[in-house]
Amino acid sequence: MAKLDEKIEEMYQEVLKRNPGETEFHQAVLEVLESLGPVVVKHPEYLERKIIERICEPERQIIFRVPWQNDKGKVQINRGFRVEFSSALGPYKGGLRFHPSVYLGIIKFLGFEQIFKNSLTGLPIGGGKGGSDFDPKGKTDDEVMRFCQSFMTELHRHLGEHTDVPAGDIGVGGREIGYMFGQYKRITNRYEPGVLTGKGLTWGGSLVRTEATGYGATFFVNEMLKARKDSFADKTCLVSGSGNVAIYTIEKIHQLGGKCIACSDSNGVILHEKGLDLDLIKQLKEVERRRISDYVAIHKEAKYIPNGNIWDIPCQVAMPSATQNEINGKDAANLVKNGCIAVGEGANMPTTPEGVKVFLDAKIAYGPGKAANAGGVATSALEMQQNAGRDSWTFEYTEKKLEDIMINIHRNCYETAEEYGAPGNYVLGANICGFIKVANAMVAHGLI
Ligand code: NDP
Ligand code: 2IT
């Protein structure tokens, strides 16, 4: 762990005290605070106005009961969350996660990261996150619908195109956004597409939003490789997870000439040395909602490794796209030892602090989530633009905008790292660049 500036250390201790037990939130805060020492030296006004202390305290936290009935008529109770972290740059914006591990500490880590990520996109969006400890696995379509309707029955009063605009995350995709949009419309009697993003294409959605996070993360890695006079051509790649982000990361890697040989889920790893069959993965995951273990029934030469560790497989590029803390110090050391030269985080905070240190010390190209996976939320902001203008753009036009945004984020992180004397350190670059824009807006808005 880098040593914190004395004043910043005090702020971190206060965060620990005020938010007991929220270990993921502590981790996300510490990672940002470690970068801010030189910033407060240059900008003493941030200390005077307690900008860091204010950023660490969400503007509003909503926790609510979500009652619903399963197919047998039995009453179920889940907990819903929406943490509206920062509206310095625009309406609160960020996804909803449905996963049994969800509690306040996870939503707060995600919401905190989202502030700086959204700032990096250059678009007018604040930071927020929400979700529930509801487990969509094994639930029928009707059960998911009833849950989403109950969730939105409470959440709707907090939303609005100028107030708070949720989207998907783990366990929340097009189906769930559809049920929530329907319930919002029914309760408010307003057809207000700008209230959610990730919508279907016939009712206000944007082309490229489905692909955006994976494509964007791959564009970001491509920029890191270009900065090192390298490219994806013939690179062997690993992508963890097999959900939305993983699928479109694999797709773009293949389009850019790389070969992705493995993906995973929480039960195991698929290894296919000749390159993954993405059409099959899409069929299994997006259409049939099955597990990736079924892949080997079609491709006999591929291997399914139950409880396997994907990071044990030698690769040149690794793109963690499943969940937080999926790469620990040992995994990171293994990746580097096996010849990995670039890591791009599609997931949020997938690398532990020990792992991050390994990547930075080895000086490989390491793109942290808040920069590398910003293409998803950036394209959500493009969806909001289209909704506001009652417009819809072509795939090519929207993808080009996404690519330009990722190129810009890369350049800003790269140049900020140089300016602060840490060339090649995208962690420092992303944290400082994302922070300064939010901090300046907060100074301008006065003490609120
Ligand atoms: P999905 O629900 O579509 O897919 C999640 C994938 O990750 C599944 O393969 C799932 O496996 C695996 N996974 C989830 N939790 C765990 C866990 N605790 N242990 C092991 N594997 C796990 O989600 P997304 O693809 O949308 O999200 C993936 C990551 O990307 C998350 O970190 C999310 O925050 C981040 N992200 C998503 C964005 C988006 O636009 N969707 C934007 C930016 C970041 P299983 O099915 O076995 O649970
Ligand atoms: O983590 C993320 O950036 C997301 N889950 C996407 C958020 C969004 O509002 O599109």
Q: How far is the CA of 374 from the centre of ligand 2 (A)?
A: 8
pLDDT in tens, 373-406: 999 999 999 999 999 999 999 999 999 999 999 9
How confident is the model over 119-127, as a mean pLDDT? Answer: 98
What is residue 130's three-state secondary structure?
Answer: strand
- For residue 268, the domain's CATH number is 3.40.50.720
pLDDT in tens, 221-277: 999 999 999 999 999 999 999 999 999 999 999 999 999 999 999 999 999 999 999
For residue 83, give the H/E element and its range: strand 75-86
How confident is the model at residue 2, as a pLDDT? 63
Q: How many whole angstroms separate alpha carbon 240 and alpha carbon 75?
A: 35
Q: How many whole angstroms separate alpha carbon 388 and alpha carbon 319?
A: 34
Q: How far is the CA of 446 from the centre of ligand 2 (A)?
A: 28
186 and 71 inside one domain: yes
222 and 360 inside one domain: yes
70 and 218 inside one domain: no
User: Across all residues in the chain, what is the average pLDDT?
Assistant: 97
Q: How many whole angstroms separate alpha carbon 339 and alpha carbon 262?
A: 16
| Residue 60 CB contacts under 8 Å (≥ 6 apart), including other chains | 83, 84
How confident is the model over 99-112, as a mean pLDDT? Answer: 98
pLDDT in tens, 316-374: 999 999 999 999 999 999 999 999 999 999 999 999 999 999 999 999 999 999 999 99
Evaluate whether 437 touches 409 at the Cβ level (below 8 Å).
no
**Domain final residue, candidates 38, 55, 72:** 55
**Which residue owns the Cα nearest ligand 1 atom 39?**
169
Enclosing domain of residue 260: 212-372
Evaluate whether 255 touches 211 at the Cβ level (below 8 Å).
no
72 and 111 inside one domain: yes
236 and 359 inside one domain: yes
Evaluate whether 183 touches 335 at the Cβ level (below 8 Å).
no
- Residue at token pair 């500490």: 105
**Domain final residue, candidates 10, 34, 55:** 55
Percentage of the chain beyond pLDDT 70 is: 100
Overall domain count for the chain:
3
Please check the confidence at residue 176 and state whether its pLDDT lies above 70: yes
Orientation angle between helical segments 104-120 and 395-419, nearest 10 degrees: 90
- For residue 184, the domain's CATH number is 3.40.50.10860
- Residue 76 domain flag: yes
Q: What's the pLDDT band for 4 if we cut at 50, 70, 90?
A: confident
Count of Cβ atoms closer than 10 Å to residue 396 Cβ: 10
50 and 66 inside one domain: no
Evaluate whether 442 touches 51 at the Cβ level (below 8 Å).
yes
Count of Cβ atoms closer than 10 Å to residue 306 Cβ: 8
Task: Tell which one of 197, 219, 245 to mutate to probe ligand 1, the residue whose CB is within 8 A of the most ligand atoms.
Answer: 245
- Residue 44 domain flag: yes
Q: Is the CB of 375 under 6 A from ligand 1?
A: no
How confident is the model at residue 5, as a pLDDT? 85
Q: How far is the CA of 273 from the centre of ligand 2 (A)?
A: 32
- From the CA of 90, the nearest ligand is 2
How confident is the model over 12-23, as a mean pLDDT? Answer: 98
Q: What is the DSSP string of 290-351?
A: --GGGHHHH-TTSEEEET--GGGS--SEEE--S-TT-B-HHHHHHHHHTT--EEE--SSS-B
70 and 38 inside one domain: no
Evaluate whether 406 touches 341 at the Cβ level (below 8 Å).
no
| Residue 64 CB contacts under 8 Å (≥ 6 apart), including other chains | 79, 80, 81, 154, 155
- From the CA of 210, the nearest ligand is 1
Evaluate whether 348 touches 94 at the Cβ level (below 8 Å).
no
- Residue 381 domain flag: no
pLDDT in tens, 305-324: 999 999 999 999 999 999 99
Within 191-283, residue ranges assigned H as helices are 209-227, 244-255, 278-282
- 172 pairs with which residues across the strands? 169
Q: How many whole angstroms separate alpha carbon 410 and alpha carbon 65?
A: 41
DSSP E strand boundaries for 276-428: 303-306, 317-319, 342-344, 365-367
Evaluate whether 374 touches 345 at the Cβ level (below 8 Å).
no
- Residue 417 domain flag: no
pLDDT in tens, 184-211: 999 999 999 999 999 999 999 999 999 9
Q: How many whole angstroms separate alpha carbon 177 and alpha carbon 243?
A: 16
- Residue 435 domain flag: no
Active site residues: 129
Q: How many whole angstroms separate alpha carbon 253 and alpha carbon 239?
A: 10
Q: How many whole angstroms separate alpha carbon 173 and alpha carbon 96?
A: 9
How confident is the model at residue 62, as a pLDDT? 98
How confident is the model at residue 3, as a pLDDT? 72
**Which residue owns the Cα nearest ligand 2 atom 10?**
377
For residue 263, give the H/E element and its range: strand 259-264
231 and 326 inside one domain: yes
Ligand 2 atom nearest the C-alpha of 374 is 3
241 and 315 inside one domain: yes
161 and 127 inside one domain: yes
Q: What's the pLDDT band for 1 if we cut at 50, 70, 90?
A: low
Which among 203, 221, 173, 147 is positioned nearest to 369, based on CA atoms? 221
Evaluate whether 160 touches 195 at the Cβ level (below 8 Å).
yes
**Domain final residue, candidates 192, 222, 256:** 192
pLDDT in tens, 46-73: 999 999 999 999 999 999 999 999 999 9
47 and 76 inside one domain: no
Query: pTM here?
Result: 0.98
272 and 364 inside one domain: yes
